[in-house]
């Protein structure tokens, strides 16, 4: 095998550099010409994360869905142990019934005391009539005694009878007052019993709410990402059981320099090109532009770009489009977001073939 001379090596190297430079120049010229008036940023497909968590501490009984499964809003995803709550509910229901009986008993007491009061008031009327009759007799006895028509003893007896009827009236009135106090006490018992009913009802409502919370349901349509816990595990308050994503809220976060970010308005059209599907152009619209610049995260930009302050931008994919491709929606896919800064320019052919 012949050895290549030093001069030949140099000539080949120069030729390779010339060819590479020519290719780079042509490609750069074409790209610069095609992308004039446009700006791009690297990013990843993201979606709203939803953690399905327990409200109260307890044991996971069952998980009814698998990772990757699509779920509907309100669908039961997992259940927590409720034995203790069910016992508390039975106790609260018993207290509720007991309080209701106490209300009925207090109402009966009020009615009975009111009847007693009516009887005492009638007795007062009777005793008052007796007093008036005794007063008239005493008056006649006094006149007859002065005239000598009756004995002094009769006068004394009538006066004693008069005093007795006065005392009887006072006693009857005291009984009316006692009956009134009994009525007030019975009414207070009724109020207390009704408060106990309300308290028991509130306790039942709270426990039923806790029971409902132990049935972990999907807050919205989405897809289960992964299981955080397994049946039998004991979780604290707020412990995560599942993680899901809202497949109707999918977007790409990317970063733009200040000169470009300042020209981007909310609602601006965006074209997303994913590394996994470079021939598919996904339409989107700008939904967020950061108000302050930041250093870009390592997972998004190149090393040189991470050394610059950039503005974070979010572009949401239309819900209608997502609905047609639910099975293909995946988060974490890297790609490039293209934005047209000059509305007078048409989208390049490679970015105009939108997914429909």
The residue ranges of every structural domain in the chain are 84-213
pLDDT given for residue 18 in this prediction? 40
Q: Please give the Cα distance from 260 to 122 (Å, whole number).
A: 97
List Cα–Cα distances, 328 to 109, 223, 322, in angstroms: 72, 12, 9
* pLDDT values of the chain reduced to their tens digit, one per residue, 356 residues: 445 555 544 544 544 444 444 433 333 333 433 467 899 999 999 999 999 999 989 999 999 999 999 999 999 999 999 888 999 999 999 999 999 998 888 888 888 888 878 888 888 788 778 778 777 776 776 777 676 666 777 766 767 777 888 888 888 888 888 888 888 888 888 888 899 999 999 999 999 999 999 999 999 999 999 999 999 999 999 999 999 999 889 999 998 888 888 889 999 999 999 998 888 899 999 999 998 888 766 655 555 555 577 899 999 999 998 888 887 888 889 999 999 988 888 888 888 777 77
DSSP-based three-state secondary structure for 123? helix
pLDDT given for residue 274 in this prediction? 92
In angstroms, how far apart are the furthest CA atoms of the chain? 178
pLDDT given for residue 162 in this prediction? 76
Structure tokens at 126: 């009777």
Q: Are 40 and 301 in contact (CB under 8 A)?
A: no
Question: Is the sign of the CA dihedral 346, 348, 353, 356 positive or negative?
Answer: negative
Relative to beta strand 269-274, strand 277-289 is: antiparallel
Q: Are 250 and 44 in contact (CB under 8 A)?
A: no
Name the one residue in this structure whose structure tokens are 């005239």: 147
Q: Are 241 and 54 in contact (CB under 8 A)?
A: yes
Name the one residue in this structure whose structure tokens are 């572009």: 315
Q: What is the DSSP string of 185-201?
A: HHHHHHHHHHHHHHHHH
Q: Please give the Cα distance from 37 to 90 (Å, whole number).
A: 71
| Neighbouring residues of 10: CB distance < 8 A, sequence distance ≥ 6 | none
Relative to beta strand 294-295, strand 334-340 is: unpaired
Structure tokens at 271: 């074209």
pLDDT given for residue 286 in this prediction? 95
For the segment(s) 84-213, the CATH number from 2.60.40, 1.10.3470, 1.10.287, 1.10.10 is 1.10.287
Q: Please give the Cα distance from 335 to 271 (Å, whole number).
A: 10
pTM of structure: 0.61
Q: What is the DSSP string of 141-161?
A: HHHHHHHTSS-HHHHHHHHHH
| Neighbouring residues of 180: CB distance < 8 A, sequence distance ≥ 6 | 117
pLDDT given for residue 4 in this prediction? 52
Burial class (CB in 10 A: 0-12, 13-18, 19+), 192: middle
How many CB atoms within 10 Å of residue 293? 16
Phi and psi angles of residue 224, each rounded to the nearest 5 degrees, phi first: -70, 125
CA atoms within 13 A on the CB side of 182: 18
Q: Are 71 and 221 in contact (CB under 8 A)?
A: yes
pLDDT given for residue 343 in this prediction? 82
CA 288 to chain centre: 26
Q: Please give the Cα distance from 254 to 265 (Å, whole number).
A: 15
């Amino acid at each position: 095998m012949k050895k290549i001379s030093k001069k030949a090596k140099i000539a080949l190297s120069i030729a390779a550099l010339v060819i590479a430079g020519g290719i780079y120049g042509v490609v750069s010229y074409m790209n610069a010409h095609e992308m004039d008036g446009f700006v791009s940023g690297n990013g990843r497909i993201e979606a709203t994360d939803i953690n399905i968590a327990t409200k109260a501490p307890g044991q996971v009984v069952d998980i009814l869905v698998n990772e990757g499964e699509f779920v509907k809003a309100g669908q039961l995803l997992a259940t927590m142990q409720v034995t203790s709550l069910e016992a508390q509910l039975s106790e609260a229901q018993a207290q509720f019934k007991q309080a209701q009986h106490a209300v009925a008993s207090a109402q009966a007491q009020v009615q009975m005391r009111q009847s007693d009061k009516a009887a005492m008031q009638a007795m007062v009327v009777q005793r008052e009539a007796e007093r008036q009759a005794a007063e008239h007799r005493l008056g006649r006895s006094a006149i007859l005694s002065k005239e000598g028509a009756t004995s002094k003893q009769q006068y004394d007896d009538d006066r004693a009878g008069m005093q007795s009827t006065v005392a009887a009236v006072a006693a009857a009135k005291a009984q009316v007052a006692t009956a009134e106090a009994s009525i007030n006490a019975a009414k207070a018992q009724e109020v207390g019993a009704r408060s106990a009913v309300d308290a028991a009802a509130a306790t039942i409502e709270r426990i039923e709410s806790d029971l409902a919370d132990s049935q972990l349901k999907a807050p919205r349509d989405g897809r289960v990402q992964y299981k955080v816990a397994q049946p039998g595990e004991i979780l604290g308050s707020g412990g995560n059981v599942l993680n899901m994503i809202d497949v109707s809220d999918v977007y790409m976060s990317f970063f733009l320099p200040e000169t470009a970010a300042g020209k981007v308005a909310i609602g601006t059209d965006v074209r997303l090109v994913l590394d996994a599907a470079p021939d598919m152009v996904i339409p989107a619209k700008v939904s967020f532009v950061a108000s302050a610049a930041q250093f870009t995260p390592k997972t998004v930009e190149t090393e040189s770009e991470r050394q610059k302050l950039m503005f974070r931008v979010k572009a949401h994919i239309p819900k209608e489009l997502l609905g047609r491709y639910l099975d293909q929606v995946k988060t974490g896919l890297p790609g490039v977001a293209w934005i047209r800064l000059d509305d007078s320019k048409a989208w390049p052919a490679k970015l105009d073939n939108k997914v429909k």
